[in-house]
Chain A
Amino acid sequence: MLRRKSITDTESLSLEDIELILSNADSFLEVSRRDVKKVPTLRGKTIVNLFFEPSTRTRTSFEIAAKRLSADLINFSSSGSSIKKGESIIDTLKTMLSMKVDLVVIRHSDSGVIKLIDRFINVPVINAGDGKHQHPTQALLDLYTIRKKFGKFEGLKVAIIGDFINSRVARSNVNLFEKMGMEVTIVSPTMLLPEDFSKMNVRHRIDDVIEESDIIYILRMQFERQNRRFYPSIMEYNRFLSLDSRRLRKMKPGSIIMHPGPVNRGIEITDEVMDATGNFGGKIIINEQVTYGVAVRMALLYLILG
């Protein structure tokens, strides 16, 4: 049993919770490989996908996960809704809950809003990304991906690279990776690094970590959140932080490249690397992350609602 019904952040997940989620994900991965990709486990349950920010993979991933468990899922996006008429988010939620919903998946641009919502409503809430705060299900699927690749966490060297100031993925992942005993190095220019990360093991160039890392975890440049220009130019970013084919070839055998998607081609990862084939191309496991994401979200929905 999960200690808490709602998943608002990674800090509140215990080691036992994490183990439970990851070990259940194995069975759900198998369900997704069947011809009939559906089990009746959550028949009769209603889940609402409430997305106040654009999303393709997370929203679709939750939708597929819910449907493979036979739950009914309703998609709600803020455009075309009463939010545009000025309804507050808590009122919108209460309206939804009057229709007897069993679980709400929420993405919102305000950092920390999911915790607030969780206090106001009495059904489980899953945070699908809140502003610059947290994206716990991404961190869990990344953990699962790492376990599938390495079979362990303890002592793995992971370098997380890019825009930390705007990244909710960074916040969730650093927390969860350290919790599992991985050695985390942060690679970020000072202007994209918030103060609470600066006490950690920080580097400023991808070249400092590329050879020794087991996992190169590349963050998305969050242009949509940068209302001021935090970084001088793309050329400069390419010089110090991008993964190009020269750097790809320096990576050690068995190492992998992860990215939460969507990738800004030509900025954090070059086209050449994205389209690489053979041994080095095999290091990029971005699509596996997406596949495993469905299994991890099925496990979460099952453990919360089952």
Chain B
Amino acid sequence: MKEKAHILSENDIDRIIKRISHEILEKNKGAENLVFIGLQKRGVPLAKRIAENIEKFEGTKVKTGKLDITFYRDDIGHNIKPTAQITDISFDIEGNNVILVDDVLYTGRTVRAALDALIDFGRPKSIQLVVLIDRGHRELPIRADYVGKNLPTSQNESVEVKLKETDGIDSVVVVEKE
């Protein structure tokens, strides 16, 4: 793996999170009935950060949860078996606007699995998708509602997102696969 380009720094990520938090509030006309669900594993801290911003801006508490999509993957049996991480949605999503958060949007298969998983928890009023990076190459008809940065990539590159909560630093880099 060779680092090709440094895309986002800590400050960049911070500004993006703030901007997206405002966009979510603008589109939903406030924080009422909003719940945040981060996809394991780097969507989880991103969802928390957005939720904290929104609490600061609006002065109201918002709910956050975590979702692991391992059991809903479409490549079970094709691939190595990942150990499932914790799913923790300790509130009712029925009738709420769910803001689903992930770090990178690529083929769209993770989001497809996440939608199936979420529907098993109830019938939300809407599901909106936040991604820090959209790198293209979709294999399913899926798009994000809020995008941190559009990043055209080739398929032999990969995007590495690092976050303080999981990796000790905030950064996004593009690396070349060998």
Q: Hey, which bits of chain A sit against chain B, CB under 8 A?
A: 1, 20, 23-24, 26-28, 30-31, 34-36, 38-42, 69, 302-303, 305-306
Contact = CB atoms under 8 A, between A and B. Distances in A.
B156 interface: no
B120 A24 contact: no
B121 A34 contact: yes
A34 B122 CA distance: 10
Contacts of B122: 35
Contacts of A1: 80-81
Given A38-B120, A40-B116, A31 B83 contact: no
Chain B, interface size category, equals 20 to 34
Interface in B8-30: none
A39 B120 contact: yes
Given A27-B87, A34-B121, A40 B72 contact: yes
Q: Which of A20, A34, A302, A306 has the most CB of B within 10 A?
A: A306
Given A36-B120, A38-B120, A39-B120, A27 B68 contact: yes
Interface string B63-103: 00000101111001100110111111000000000000000
A30 B87 contact: yes
B83 A24 contact: yes
Contacts of B88: 30
Nearest to A36: B120
Contacts of A26: 86
A26 B86 CA distance: 7
Contacts of B72: 39-41
B86 A27 contact: yes
A20 B83 CA distance: 7
A302 B73 CA distance: 12
A3 B122 CA distance: 38
Interface in B47-76: 68, 70-73, 76
Contacts of B70: 27, 41
A41 B76 CA distance: 7
Nearest to B79: A306
A3 to B, nearest CB: 13
Contacts of B85: 27
Contact of A36 (B80, B84, B87, B121): B121
